[in-house]
Structure 1
């Protein structure tokens, strides 16, 4: 396998047009998993991506000149929430996703955030277990995190199986 070097940077407005195709390609992996095949069938709208990009809340990764991954986040008080992180399936397994998460962690810590949060599937190998390896832990006391509880409730309303979803947090202190 050709293990090309990759790089990352803040996203630029022109990157937004390429991101949904990466998200859709990565989402196809969910078709292999019973009960959640539709999880990867929707992509983040380009106009929403452009809003995050304008605010500096989106990282992208490249191999040569090709955009192969991205991470979108948004601040909520002293926490930074990851809305989406995807890597093109042709480039997975090269540390790109972990690199995007680590860059987000460094930036969040340097910017004074106390934690990074996200919601994910607790039992899908490239979801919950992946984030756990990068220092995230499952939020078990959702009453103490009403924003995350609300996000999980919205996901359930959109058909995601509540028993397989979880919120995770990585404390930066």
Structure 2
């Protein structure tokens, strides 16, 4: 039995989401395969609040405390996953996978065609995690300008192009 619950994110969750993202991001800085690779800064609480207002963000709660989140926003007929994070203390318990599946169910019920994202290709809790949950690599992003922009902004930030990947999960 799980000791966490999933619900829609609320405006008052923005600061807690920011803290979860900061905590989870520490794992990137500790991962040896990313040594020397710049890690983008986390999102501000204000930007989290803007995404929450779009109505497609979920949080995971344990004992009344936000411990994970999935933030997404519509782009045409797709839902773009901006961030999926779980605090380090609560990782490995299925919270991220449950958030992702709940997001997919919500997106399908709302009539979205797919969920898109960009992530690290070779970090175990990134592309391989998403691949196990039905996401596939997008070869060429001509039909997905938001993904092209995301991949390009990572390169501009200093992340080697071959380290990033665009993925999609169709919701049919």
Q: Counterpart in 2 of 1:65?
A: 64
Measure how far apart 1:160 and its partner are: 2.0
Kept in 1, the 8 Å contact 2:18–2:48? The answer is no
Q: CA deviation at 1:143?
A: 2.6
SS of equivalent residue, structure 1 residue 29: helix
Encode CA deviations 1:12-65: one digit per residue, 9 max, x unaligned.
1111011122111111111223345542x5111111111122221211001111
Deviation at 1:146, TM superposition (A): 2.7
Instruction: Give the match for residue 33 of structure 1.
Output: 32
For the Cα contact (< 8 Å) 2:38–2:157, is it kept in 1? no
Query: Would you say the 8 A contact 2:28–2:34 is kept in 1?
Result: no
**Given the alignment, which residue of 17, 42, 47 partners 2:15?**
17
Q: Structure 2: how far apart are the matches of 1:51 and 1:85?
A: 16
> Does the 8 A contact of 1:85 with 1:97 survive in 2?
yes
Unaligned runs of 5+ in 1: none
Partner Cα separation in structure 1 for residue 50 and residue 20 of structure 2: 18
Which deviates more from structure 2 when the two are superposed, residues 163-172 or residues 49-58?
49-58
Count how many residue pairs are aligned between Structure 1 and Structure 2. Answer: 170
**Cα distance in 1 between the residues matched to 2:2 and 2:170:** 32
Is 49-58 or 163-172 further displaced after alignment? 49-58
Aligned partner of residue 33 in structure 2, secondary structure: coil
- Stretches of structure 2 that go unaligned for 5 or more consecutive residues are none
TM-score computed with the length of structure 1 as normaliser:
0.92
- Aligned partners of 1:172 and 1:69: how far apart in 2? 23
- Normalised to the residue count of structure 2, the TM-score between the two structures is 0.93
Q: Is the 8 A contact 1:4 1:63 kept in 2?
A: no
Q: CA RMSD in A?
A: 1.5
Greater CA deviation, 97-106 or 4-13? 4-13
The Cα shift of 1:4 comes to 5.6
Counterpart of 2:100 in structure 1 is 101
